[in-house]
Amino acid sequence: EDKVVQSPLSLVVHEGDTVTLNCSYEVTNFRSLLWYKQEKKAPTFLFMLTSSGIEKKSGRLSSILDKKELFSILNITATQTGDSAIYLCAVGFNTDKLIFGTGTRLQVFP
């Protein structure tokens, strides 16, 4: 059965801390792995990864994929209260569909 597992489920940190969110997957015919940030409304797209070992970076956020070990990490450095959200990992496979993990809830306190 295809599945995506995220850890930890929840994380509480102080502003300035660095966090690492994990996503492991088991799917047939992998195409891509995506990270989304969900605050109060719509999940908003962060990164799409298709190749191992190539880091994607946007400001304080970065992500990398390991297709051999079937996982990805999302790093956030120098966290801010505005980073508080649920971070969703999704995997696309040989159809047009995505399977989503249950998410990691990040809370950043001043």
Partner 1 sequence: DAGVIQSPRHEVTEMGQEVTLRCKPISGHDYLFWYRQTMMRGLELLIYFNNNVPIDDSGMPEDRFSAKMPNASFSTLKIQPSEPRDSAVYFCASRPGGNQPQHFGDGTRLSIL
Q: How far is the CB of 85 from partner 1 (least distance, A)?
A: 14
The count of chain residues that interact with partner 1, using the rule CB under 8 A, is 21
83 φ/ψ angles, rounded to the nearest 5 degrees:
-85, -10
Cα 39 to Cα 28: distance, rounded to the nearest angstrom:
30
Q: Which among 104, 110, 98, 92 has a CA at the least distance from the CA of 38?
A: 104
For partner 1, which residue of 73, 93, 100, 105 counts as binding (CB under 8 A)? 100
**Contact by Cβ (8 Å): 48, 34:** yes
Subset of residues 18 to 47 that bind partner 1, contact rule: CB under 8 A: 31-32, 34, 36, 41-45
68 near partner 1, rule: CB under 8 A: no
56 near partner 1, rule: CB under 8 A: no
52 near partner 1, rule: CB under 8 A: no
Rounded to 5°, the CA angle 48-110-47 comes to: 5
Q: Give the residues lining the site for partner 1 (CB under 8 A).
A: 31-32, 34, 36, 41-45, 48, 50, 88, 92, 95-98, 100-103
